[in-house]
Structure 1
Amino acid sequence: MVDIVDDPRIPAGEPSLRARAYGKAAARLIPALVFLFILAWIDRVNVGFAKLSMLSDLKLSEAAYGFGAGVFFLSYFLFEVPSNLLLEKIGARKTLARITILWGLNCIAMAYVRSETWFYILRFTLGMFEAGFFPGVVLYLTYWFPAARRARINGLFMTSFAIAGIIGGPVAGLIMSTMGGVGGHANWQWVFILEGIPSVLAGFAVIFLLPDRPREATWLSNDEAAAIENELAAERRSATCETSFSAALADWRVWLCALIYFGIVSGNATIAFWTPSIIKETGVTDTLRIGLLAALPFIAGTIAMVWNGGHSDRTGERRLHCSIAALIAAVGLAATGALIGSGATALAALTVAAIGILAAFPVFWTIPQALLGGTAAAGGIALINAIGNLAGFAAPYLVGISASVTGSATSGLYVVAVIELTAAAAVFLFRFTQPGR
């Protein structure tokens, strides 16, 4: 990591001005962004728990569920780049507020689905409304933190993936096991209603609490805000990254990043949408117990994510940290497929998969952040995320077809493991910047 030079105006022995400013920014922004993404992730994947009784109520097949779970990512793909380019123009506060309010309302509407068609429509509109949130946050963090700090900062933000899994499973399981029949609603309907309302409220809070840039943060002194913006400006002046969206589109490395991210996301989408069902295949039937067990892989993944991001920043190495994590994910997914139905050993394999999948994310995003700046960063990061998240459509659908045709998710998990392995190989074999990175 690049050493921080103490500001000469600060007396000896005190923390540097920049270090203090970055500490304040992390303490203020990261918890809020983590909370928002937890809500987004829960509202995106709670259909995995609702599925446990929703399918029989609506008479949907496993394949129809897999398609509906994944169609979210098709609209996500279509609206991702426009949303991030708009963020670059109007700011993060307005963009993230709009996104959060609309996805919350959409989640509530899912409670009133009555047909396969409406299931597909509302999953599609959920993707449309949420599009731009994740790449928007990735872009937003580049307005606050320099490259040398980003793997750790990305990792802290992306713990929201894992924390959402830790919280979402038990909460959904509790709702499913206690709310059935209340107010004339089925248990799966209450999952959507009770998990959609907080997102709507949080969206309005964003308008008042999230500053667009350091200079707008009332909790930073003028010197602290200037220290952050001056360092980021100096970094931009010395960078050799692409700065126009058209140049980013012509850069083969951007497209390779998108394909690699497709591989990483394929594993993440699989464990997000199918963990409850995989645990059920081990013989567990109680929904609360399924929810509690579903949290275990994400707890391990949280620890791995933070450690891998921090270690990558300390060593300055990116490729191996990302590729080894993706390799571990591939092994874990393949082992889960081989052991499915075997109780604790299948859950252990799923935990290994979650460790690798989640540990790859924060380090991966340092690669496109180093390649892109300005409008290229806004559009390029969104493009990479949009293409990568098409795996969120493909992977659950493949596993769904496998479950419908064979009665087990095994063959689908093998396919996803191969995709993850391909991503690991691509990160390892190609040098995106200078040697060793």
Structure 2
Amino acid sequence: MSSNARPLEDVTGMAESDNRLFRRISFRIMPILWLVYCFNYLDRTNVAYAHLRMKEDLGFSDAVFGLGASLIFFGLIAFEIPSNIVLARIGLRKTLVRIMILWGLCSASMSLVTTPTEFYILRFMIGMFEAGLVPGVLYYLTLWYPSQRRGQPSAVFYTAPSCAGIVSGPIAGVFMTYLNGFGNFQGWQWLFIMEGLPCVALAFLAYFVLSDSPDKAKWLTVDERRRVQQLIQDGNAKHHTLDRQELLSVLRDPRLWVLGAVGFLMLISLFGLTFWQPTLLKGMGLTVMQVGLYSVVPSLCGVVASVIIARHSDATGERCWHYILCALTAASGLLLTTLFPTNTVLTLLCLCVTWTGLTSAYAMLWTLPGRVFAGKVAATCLAIITVIHGSAGIVGPYGLALLKTATGGFTISLYTGSALLVASTLLFYPFFRHRSAYQLKETH
């Protein structure tokens, strides 16, 4: 009896020891990675608030702003793969230093912009320099966590943009209101400076706190390093290499392209609203500070709703109708927003409905690729879907700018965003209406 109990005790003790080890690893690396992604989102979207003053000071048209907002995604897509090739050779620490110093300086340099050409060049360069950050971090997590432990740190990492979206408005409002005119700089210039330069300091902090891999982590004991590497190697041994024949099979699966296209249609509205919501609110007579504070409410509603809806979906195992209802909720919110062009409270409520649907729909969409494709095909599928989704960032801000310029307001733009969300549900339903379409499937 005792001989049988002993191995069970050993297994339990080893599991507890592993849990402590990975908690220690998470406390070491995740706060830095989270902060990096948080500042990345702030630097990518601060132009939406800066435009409230730039338009008056520099005379930029909505089309100029929309194109500049979109150009960052051209840089991202063009340099995503080269950046990751370099990362594999030199490690994450040096890559983060390069990415954060260059993007931080470029973001701060936005304060010196005086012409549309300068605006375009710097926006493209910010995208170019930050390219590879997110896939680089996801690759980095594979070096530290076995596959069965990778979900939680990945989820924590992805909360950074949502949290940054909540604080970005108030931060912009404070800088643009209380620093306006200080040191002969306008408030929008201080916004770029105060959110860009900290990235340089954060780059050096990341370099000294992080380690490129477990075997180089001096803050772990020799036994701990060996244990982490052993667990990761055991997990990797379960997966095969993706060969040419299987790649062709994946590319012929229509669900791959549907997931990409559905996200593309939905993200046109999401990216467009991200960059144009401050302008929409300011057009109702609000001050910059009020715009920043009011923007917190829709973002907070979206974060809370996405967590609640994701839990309900996990509990029921249903994905299709969860996505469809969330997307239709966002479409309804956009339509309702057009009905109250002068009523701030009702417009804000409509934006809350919109962000509740948008954020939840996007979170729901990303639950599917890992269930449709798993194991050796997952990385290839995620890369393809990510590129298709990122293309929406090129279309959304600039497309809405052109519509606003042509029509003189946001009404047609909001109608268009609503129609695209409805179209995404019509495309989604035929392929995922049955649960068998998103049952976990792994190719051997």
- TM-score grouping bracket, smaller chain normalisation: 0.7 to 0.9
Could you tell me whether the CA contact under 8 Å between 1:154 and 1:365 is conserved in 2? no
Q: Structure 2: any 5+ residue segments left out of the alignment?
A: 1-6
Equivalent runs, 1:126-141 vs 2, <5 Å: 126-141=126-141
Distance 1:416 1:142 in 2: 37
In structure 1, the partner of 2:331 is 330
Deviation at 1:262, TM superposition (A): 1.8
Q: Deviations over 1:114-138 (max 9, x none)?
A: 1111111111111111112223333
CA-CA distance at 1:353 after TM superposition: 2.0
Q: In the aligned structure 2, how far is the partner of 1:353 from the partner of 1:397?
A: 20
Say whether residues 1:265 and 2:256 are aligned partners: no
Q: 1:111 to 1:353 in 2, by over 3 A?
A: same
What is the DSSP-based 3-state SS (H/G/I as helix, E as strand, rest coil) of the residue aligned with 2:285?
Answer: coil
Q: CA RMSD in A?
A: 3.4
1:185: Cα distance to partner?
1.5
Aligned-residue offset at 1:144: 4.4
Counterpart of 1:211 in structure 2: which amino acid?
A: S
Assess if the C-alpha contact under 8 Å between 1:72 and 1:127 holds in 2: yes
TM-score by length of 2: 0.83
Query: How far 1:272 moved relative to its partner?
Result: 1.9
**CA-CA distance at 1:68 after TM superposition:** 1.2
1:122 corresponding residue in structure 2: 122
Please report how far the alpha carbon of residue 322 of structure 1 lies from its aligned counterpart in structure 2 after TM superposition. 4.7
Q: 1:74 to 1:11 in 2, by over 3 A?
A: closer
Number of the residue aligned with 1:3 = none
Please give the alpha-carbon distance, in whole angstroms, between the structure 2 residues aligned to 1:321 and 1:230: 39
For residues 245 and 182 of structure 1, what CA distance do their matches in structure 2 show? 63
State the shift of 1:292 in Å. Answer: 0.7
Q: Which amino acid aligns with 1:357?
A: L
Which letter maps to 1:267?
S
Partner of 2:163: 163
Q: How does 1:18-33 map to 2 (within 5 A)?
A: 18-33=18-33
Q: Deviations over 1:386-419 (max 9, x none)?
A: 3312211211112212322222212112222333
Q: Which residue of 1 aligns with 2:403?
A: 402
Structure 1, 30-39 or 331-340: larger mean CA deviation: 331-340
Contact 2:333 2:351 in 1 (8 A): yes
CA contact (8 A) 1:74 1:393 kept: yes
Q: Is the 8 A contact 1:165 1:272 kept in 2?
A: no
Q: Report the CA distance between 1:263 and its aligned residue.
A: 2.9
- Rg (Cα) greater in structure: 2
The Cα shift of 1:105 comes to 0.7
Residue 256 of structure 1 corresponds to 258
After TM superposition, the structure 1 stretch with the greater mean CA deviation from structure 2, 159-168 or 239-248, is 239-248
Residues 122-164 of structure 1 show CA distances to partners (whole Å, capped at 9, x for unaligned) of 1111111111222333343444456666665444322212211
2:281 corresponds to which residue? 279
> What is the Cα deviation at residue 336 of structure 1?
2.8
Gaps of 5+ in 1: 1-5
- Tell me the CA shift for residue 347 of structure 1: 1.0
In 1, the alpha carbon distance for the partners of 2:231 and 2:425 equals 33
Aligned mates of 2:159, 2:365 — CA distance in 1: 14
Deviation for aligned residue 1:52:
0.8
The structure showing larger relative contact order (alpha-carbon pairs under 8 Å, at least 6 residues apart) is 1
Matches within 5 A, 1:36-435: 36-145=36-145, 153-218=153-218, 230=230, 232-239=232-239, 242=242, 247=247, 250=251, 252=253, 253-284=255-286, 286-309=287-310, 322-369=323-370, 371=373, 377=379, 381-430=382-431, 435=438
The answer as to whether partners of 2:240 and 2:376 remain within 8 angstroms in 1 is no
Is this contact kept in 1: 2:368–2:438, CA < 8 A? no
TM-score normalised by length of structure 1:
0.84
Report how far residue 367 of structure 1 moved. 4.1
Q: Deviations over 1:212-255 (max 9, x none)?
A: 44454455566666665555545544457847799278354544
Residues 350-359 or 307-316, more deviating: 307-316
The 3-state SS of whatever aligns with 1:50 is helix
Amino acid at match of 1:65: F
Q: d(CA) in 2 for partners of 1:139 and 1:309?
A: 25
Residue 93 of structure 1 and its aligned partner are, at CA, apart by 2.7
Query: How many residues align structurally?
Result: 429
CA contact (8 A) 1:178 1:187 kept: yes
Larger CA deviation: 194-203 vs 227-236: 227-236
Task: For residues 273-301 of structure 1, give each alpha carbon's deviation from its aligned partner in whole angstroms, at most 9, with x where no partner exists.
Answer: 112112223332x1111111111111222
Distance 1:246-1:41 versus aligned 2 partners, 3 A rule: farther
Instruction: State which drifts further: 392-401 or 217-226.
Output: 217-226
